[in-house]
Structure 1
Amino acid sequence: MQNSPSAILGALLLAATFAAHAAGTPHTLRVDLLHTGNALSEQYALDRVVIEPLPWPGNPARPLDDTNRGLNRFEVVDPKTNTVLYSRGYSTIFGEWRTTDEALKHSRGFQESLRFPTPDRPVRVRVLARDERNEFSVVWSVDIDPAAMDVERELRPAPAIAIPIRHNGDSAQKVDLLILGDGYTQAELQKFEADARRLADHLFSVSPFKEREHDFNVWALAVPTRESGVSRPSTGTFHESALGTRYDIFGSERYVLTLDNRALRELAQYAPNEFIEILVNNETYGGGGIFGQFSTAAAGNDWANYLFVHEFGHHFAALADEYYTSPVAYTSGEERPEPWEPNVTALLDPANLKWKRHVAPSTPLPTPWPKAEYEAYQRDYQARRVALRKANRPESEMSALFTAERKFTDALMARQPNRDVIGAFEGANYQASGYYRPAMQCTMFSRTERFCQVCQDAIGDIIDLYSAGK
């Protein structure tokens, strides 16, 4: 793979990127943090400050994030003038974990990173979190001097050469998506490249990515592992891998993440990246996505296309899950505050619905749909799904079950008068009642092939933030 024509082209394009730095583009500065606590409290601590080997890939015309996404936001501030120089919203693994039952009993720590263009002066980095009103307030800050002696500068050679999957221009004008591989052996690196190309092709067949394809660069990078596949502890399967990606996160058999942020960042820094999707070389259905961090998908699964796009929706645009019948690790009280995510609502004020510009005056709110019939089917379907996993049946049986479920759901929705309207359909955000989604069907609700218009708008906002397309 490293001597392939793709790798040679990748080396040439990266050399051109370095040339852009010589023309004045700053390097990327990374602040690595430790985020610890439990359901009731949280703390931050500085781990290290790193200047990465590649220039900053971001759009200099959009340093400030005005999308109001994420559980957190970080700001880079000039301490002398209190001017915000750079900001981005994001979410964290800790933020998800603290909603689990485990967080009510124990404290844990997670690694996180904040990345921004290296400033030409000392700065203050502030971390903000949402309060009970969903407003951001400062919870931690640290002063960073990029010229300090303890700032680490990466001088090691790259462990692999990034492959350009799609290259549409200067990184500063494009969204840079990096596809990382985990669980691919040396003999499977060509398979990784083929998987990355196949799934990138599918992403850009889905609107609005289809219409904005030329606003993206896509890179692929993988370090080979000794064994094929990643760990799946629930079945006693453990594999050492470069990124430490594994199944069974938070006790959910289908949830795939890496908790080794340092390993992730130390590999990703060798390719231009603003968003990262990790392909795991497994057939078992699974994936995950954290806004502003990374997403994952099982590249060998029959539903890999859906997994890649759905999980990327979480990571890229902070889209909430709209499904509510599948078991998850998170706990929720009886209160239904208005979510900050752009595609779910508590409908506390129907007259000011966040996506009301798409709602026709004649559309009732809440919007009728065959909820009872859908839930009756789902009770049996979910029981069969649990039984298949408990018996460790072949993955082909799980795929067949998913196919039957999609066929039923598509047929049920197709008969409904509100199937094509934007409204407020009850059942979303892992809750059967009190939360509403914009459309009867969407990639964030079911295994359909398209995003609803509200999700498309939310994705477009992020493309605009990172590219020069608009």
Structure 2
Amino acid sequence: MDVRNRVGGARRSGRILALTSCVAALLGIPGAPRAASRALETAFDAWSDGATLRLDYQHAGLAGKEEIFALDGPRREGPWPGSRANLVDPLNLGPYRFEVRDRATNRVLFAQGFASIYGEWEETDEAQSVRRSFHESLRFPFPRRPVQVDLLRRGKDNAFRAAATFLVDPASPAVDRGPVTGRGSVWTIFENGPPESKVDLLVLGDGYTSAQMSVFHEDARRLAALLFTTPPFQERKADFNVRAIDTPSEDSGVDRPSDGVFRRSALGVTYDIFGSERYALTLDNRTLREAAAQAPYEFIEILINGEKYGGGGIYNLFATCATRSGSTPYIFVHEFGHHFAALADEYYTSPVAYDTAKEIVEPWEPNITAFLDPPSLKWKDLVDPATPLPTPWGKEEFDAFEAKIQERRKAIRARHAPEAEMDALFKEELDWTKPFLARQPHASRVGVFEGAGYRSKGLYRSSTDCIMFTRNRDRFCPVCARAIERVIDWVAGR
């Protein structure tokens, strides 16, 4: 296998890469003509054999000092599940991006933005003094000829710069062509069309034993149905397929280190990621990818068999959700918002593991802003000219209430109280915040409301309330809803 890995400080400050002009032009077209779509699909067949190539690598480093991308190896998976026409992602989302180029012509064949666990870890205190590595994967159509895979990293100025390059020869014997089937039963929750013309969501379970597979089936159907009662997913259900895979675990439940609980689960999901008791992810990327490869997917939701409040969501990686929490409906939709549309957390009163004192720059996420350049506000077109910017709201009263809630929350966790106490606290919190935010003078308007992205000052959200701000799962705000619709349109080939 011919592999070149270019990494280093000089490369990280290298050339700025822009989206191709043809894709930028297509972005403004509501629906590409059928003939143009057929032409793009014909072009796809010319460079790809229709399968999926998964490129595995280790992402390691020390925050601000070094970043290393070390090749693990290429893997051939099943049929490519995505669009044959929409291949070069124009959405400009994610702290990372990768581009697949034909080595003979340098033409970009495929590109996609993404986020990573490494990228989040880099914002923690540990990353300032400890080197760690995380297994990651890139998936793209299997090429017929050698390609160059450029990994790009977003800078503070929001421009992408080269971080590393892998050279991939699809004919190399180093490509793992072993079967991906036989690791669990694949079944359909609902299907609305062929994978290449739909958004394909895959639901997996962790911490469900073989004897609990019927419970997993019930949970998967229940939470998939819940997602599609939430606008704008509700109106766009016909654009989705939802499938599931049975991945039985040896033990019931998953690891909860801060509670002294450790389980042998199929996918390795654990709470206490980065020291946050509610943050639950799997760091076993290879196991996850091998299981998921049995079905077509663009997005993955992992259901956690347990009652402890928790979950997580990373853009174009996966989302997780505890299925027995009193807040499960909120967790499922909120975390899927991160994974699906790169939506930022809008809350700022709950404790997080990240550095919240760093320099404020304009966030790349679509739903929060530093408002450093008002004329360029990313949701300016949704703002009524009569709405004051920044937009006043009862922030001081809200903050005072939340401070008391967070103290009680901390005490509940410190004494390892029954989960019912946390559920009751969150219900009390929602019963106060929901009507309080609804009666704000500008509650029905899109504006610029201070307090977002874990920052009380200096970052702003677009609405008083949203699924990304509180546990009120009634709705996504207009800005978040639009971001979700844009992803649906792109992935489903609209």
Band the TM-score falls in, shorter-chain normalisation? over 0.9
Residue 335 in structure 1 maps to residue 359 in structure 2: yes
> Aligned to 2:296, what secondary structure does the other structure show?
coil
Q: Letter of the aligned partner of 2:229 in structure 1?
A: S
Residue-by-residue CA offset, 1:116-151 (whole Å, 9 max, x unaligned): 110111100010001231100111001101110110
Residue-by-residue CA offset, 1:185-221 (whole Å, 9 max, x unaligned): 1111011011000000010011110111010000111
Question: 1:16 corresponds to which residue?
Answer: none
Contact 1:174 1:215 in 2 (8 A): yes
> Aligned to 1:375, what secondary structure does the other structure show?
helix
Root mean square deviation of aligned Cα: 1.1
Residue-by-residue CA offset, 1:381-440 (whole Å, 9 max, x unaligned): 000001011111111111110001001101211221111110000000000000000000
How much does 1:334 deviate? 4.6
**Rounded Cα–Cα distance in structure 1 between residues aligned with 2:237 and 2:200:** 12
Residue 39 in structure 1 maps to residue 63 in structure 2: yes
**Rounded Cα–Cα distance in structure 1 between residues aligned with 2:185 and 2:483:** 33
Residue 51 in structure 1 maps to residue 76 in structure 2: yes
Residue 394 in structure 1 maps to residue 425 in structure 2: no
> Aligned to 1:311, what secondary structure does the other structure show?
helix
Question: 2:326 corresponds to which residue?
Answer: 302
Residue-by-residue CA offset, 1:156-181 (whole Å, 9 max, x unaligned): 54211211011001000001000110
**Rounded Cα–Cα distance in structure 1 between residues aligned with 2:71 and 2:232:** 38
**Rounded Cα–Cα distance in structure 2 between residues aligned with 1:284 and 1:452:** 27
**Rounded Cα–Cα distance in structure 2 between residues aligned with 1:419 and 1:137:** 39
Question: 1:462 corresponds to which residue?
Answer: 487
Question: 1:131 corresponds to which residue?
Answer: 155
For 1:60, which of 84, 89, 92 is the aligned residue?
84
Q: Letter of the aligned partner of 1:48 in structure 2?
A: G
State the TM-score, normalizing by the size of structure 2.
0.89
Runs of 4+ in 1 over 6 A off after TM superposition: none
Contact 2:124 2:353 in 1 (8 A): yes
Contact 1:77 1:83 in 2 (8 A): yes
**Rounded Cα–Cα distance in structure 1 between residues aligned with 2:227 and 2:424:** 23
Q: Letter of the aligned partner of 1:50 in structure 2?
A: R
Question: 1:365 corresponds to which residue?
Answer: 389
For 1:183, which of 184, 203, 207 is the aligned residue?
207
How much does 1:222 deviate? 2.4
Question: 1:239 corresponds to which residue?
Answer: 263
Residue 314 in structure 1 maps to residue 338 in structure 2: yes
Contact 2:208 2:216 in 1 (8 A): yes
Residue 444 in structure 1 maps to residue 468 in structure 2: yes
**Rounded Cα–Cα distance in structure 2 between residues aligned with 1:89 and 1:267:** 23
> Aligned to 2:269, what secondary structure does the other structure show?
coil
- 1:275-290 equivalences under 5 Å are 275-290=299-314
Residue 421 in structure 1 maps to residue 421 in structure 2: no
**Rounded Cα–Cα distance in structure 2 between residues aligned with 1:282 and 1:203:** 19
> Aligned to 2:68, what secondary structure does the other structure show?
strand
For 1:407, which of 431, 440, 450 is the aligned residue?
431
Q: Letter of the aligned partner of 1:254 in structure 2?
A: R
**Rounded Cα–Cα distance in structure 2 between residues aligned with 1:317 and 1:153:** 32
Question: 1:220 corresponds to which residue?
Answer: 244
Contact 2:250 2:266 in 1 (8 A): no
Unaligned runs of 5+ in 2: 1-44
Contact 1:182 1:222 in 2 (8 A): no
> Aligned to 1:325, what secondary structure does the other structure show?
coil
Contact 1:442 1:452 in 2 (8 A): yes
Residue-by-residue CA offset, 1:76-127 (whole Å, 9 max, x unaligned): 0012211100000000000000100000111100000000110111100010
How much does 1:25 deviate? 6.2
Question: 2:7 corresponds to which residue?
Answer: none
Structure 1 residues 98 and 440, CA gap change in structure 2 (3 angstroms): same
How much does 1:333 deviate? 3.0
> Aligned to 2:161, what secondary structure does the other structure show?
strand
Deviates more, 1:414-423 or 1:69-78: 414-423
How much does 1:351 deviate? 2.0
For 1:324, which of 328, 348, 351 is the aligned residue?
348
For 1:269, which of 293, 301, 304 is the aligned residue?
293
Question: 1:87 corresponds to which residue?
Answer: 111
How much does 1:154 deviate? 2.5
Question: 1:151 corresponds to which residue?
Answer: 175
Residue 26 in structure 1 maps to residue 50 in structure 2: yes
Residue-by-residue CA offset, 1:229-278 (whole Å, 9 max, x unaligned): 00000011000111100100000000000001001001000111110010
Question: 1:3 corresponds to which residue?
Answer: none
Contact 1:25 1:56 in 2 (8 A): no
Residue 348 in structure 1 maps to residue 343 in structure 2: no
**Rounded Cα–Cα distance in structure 2 between residues aligned with 1:212 and 1:439:** 23
> Aligned to 1:202, what secondary structure does the other structure show?
helix
How much does 1:34 deviate? 0.4
**Rounded Cα–Cα distance in structure 2 between residues aligned with 1:145 and 1:307:** 41
Q: Letter of the aligned partner of 1:454 in structure 2?
A: V
Residue 121 in structure 1 maps to residue 120 in structure 2: no
Contact 1:178 1:218 in 2 (8 A): yes
Q: Letter of the aligned partner of 2:349 in structure 1?
A: T
Question: Size of the alignment, in residue pairs?
Answer: 446
**Rounded Cα–Cα distance in structure 2 between residues aligned with 1:129 and 1:448:** 34
Residue-by-residue CA offset, 1:305-357 (whole Å, 9 max, x unaligned): 11111000000100000000000000033521000000000001122210011
Q: Letter of the aligned partner of 1:197 in structure 2?
A: R
